[in-house]
Amino acid sequence: MTSRVALVTGGTGGIGTAICKKLADMGHKVATNYRNEEKAQAWKTQMQADGYPITLVKGDVTSPEDAETIVRTIEQQLGPVDILINNAGITRDTTFHRMTSQQWGEVVNTNLNSVFNMTRPVIEGMRERKWGRIIQISSINGLKGQYGQANYAAAKAGMHGFTISLARENAKLGITVNTVSPGYVATDMVMAVPEEVRAKIAADIPTGRLGKPEEIAYAVAFLVDDQAAWITGSNLDINGGHHMGW
């Protein structure tokens, strides 16, 4: 496989870390962004100890200016970005009748607007080189909705609308654009939920368990492979059968 430059937003989180490692295992040069200096350096130290020399660039994906800087810095250090994984995401959960405009805006800016901010600086280069892989990490709750997550579900559903439009625009130029929608995965955020709540969630999943970050990373690796060139505009549900559709 050709070694390429891969940018994973939100790469220091649970799913992001697994994706970074998997892409590095495939031989790609991997970079991610960060905002918290202390957390990022601790993460980088652990990655290096595990044998993963991931490049870190400081920047906020909700800022178009920062996004541009992140991409240009990576290009200078590693080369053109041919693989973009839009993985950054947050939650600000509350029922809609109690939701503030700040809670709405923070989630939409981080989960959806960031997809525009990060994709815009890389798309022209991909079009010129006639090769690219863009993947949005959405969520099961963008498909089925969730109590107290009108902001999150709206943003995650919007990610796939972006995917299918961008896929149509760039299909003839060797660029594929797809969405991966994980169900409940055993990340630090999910494991912080009380055990009895997690047990109820797992009991509602046909496989009887939460997903593993590595299982999401495997799907990403499949979609970025050269042989996945005829897969574009798709959404891949990975949820243990928790939500099934056509």
Residues marked as catalytic? 152
Sign of the dihedral defined by the CA atoms of residues 206, 207, 208, 211, in that order: negative
Tell me the DSSP string of 97-150: GG--HHHHHHHHIIIIIHHHHHHHHHHHHHHHHT-EEEEEE--THHHH--TT-H
- Rounded CA-CA distance 102/183 in Å is 26
- E-strand stretches of 35-102: 55-58, 81-86
Q: Which residue has the tokens 């056509």?
A: 246
Structure tokens at 241: 């059968």
- Rounded CA-CA distance 113/111 in Å is 6
- Rounded CA-CA distance 85/65 in Å is 19
Q: From residue 157, how far is each of 90, 135, 177, 184, 239 by CA, in Å?
A: 14, 14, 15, 16, 16
